[in-house]
Amino acid sequence: MYPTTTLTWTNESYVVGETTSSSRSPKVGLWLDPLVRPETASDGERLPFVVFGLPRGQLVCRANGPALARALLTFLRQNPQVRQASQVGTVTESDPTPGVHLRLGMNPETDARVLTKIGLNLVAKLLGVGFVRDAVFDRAIDYARTGAGAVYKAPPTAADVLGPAITDRHVMALLDRPVA
């Protein structure tokens, strides 16, 4: 379920509206992503509220709740100059140990589907789309598209079947059955 809260612009600020639930994600809107203190952050470090854009044009607001998102979005709308990097002075403060915090969700099932799709796309690019349209690839294509079925993930020792390891390369093989 996706909780959805409306924010409506009045003459001077956003107003938080009603929160509802939906079984599907909204097509338009602003994604609210909670602030999470990374384990690597020092105690005195403040986590700033953040608004950033995604490649497809969606916006993400990293703040703890709709009320804080409302305040941040109101500020950004009332002060458009802060959104223009050329109009904001550069920060000259230097930090000998700058922090980089990365939050990546891990989902092995999704990762396997993505790798399957990448493999199929590589085969199509290198050997032609007609090659991938052969029936032997149907299960892999269905798995990459819908998640139906599964793929066999060979243990690292199975790579020996493909020959000696190449130290500066990654190797990926698409086979129609498990490696013996």
Q: Based on the number of CB atoms within 10 Å of its own CB, is 61 exposed (0-12), middle (13-18) or buried (19 or more)?
A: buried
Domain map (residue ranges) of the chain: 2-85, 108-162
pTM confidence score: 0.43
- Order of strands across the sheet that contains 30-33: 30-33, 59-62, 50-53
Which residue ranges in the chain fall short of pLDDT 70? 57, 83-104, 156-160, 171-172, 174-180
SS3 state at 139:
helix
CB 131 within 8 A of CB 174: no
The identity of residue 130, as a single letter, is G
Rounded to 5°, the CA angle 70-71-77 comes to 85
How far apart are alpha carbons 119 and 124 in whole angstroms?
9
Q: In this predicted structure, what is the pLDDT of residue 121? A: 92
DSSP bridge partners of 144: none
Q: What is the pLDDT of residue 107?
A: 78
Q: What SS3 class is residue 33?
A: strand
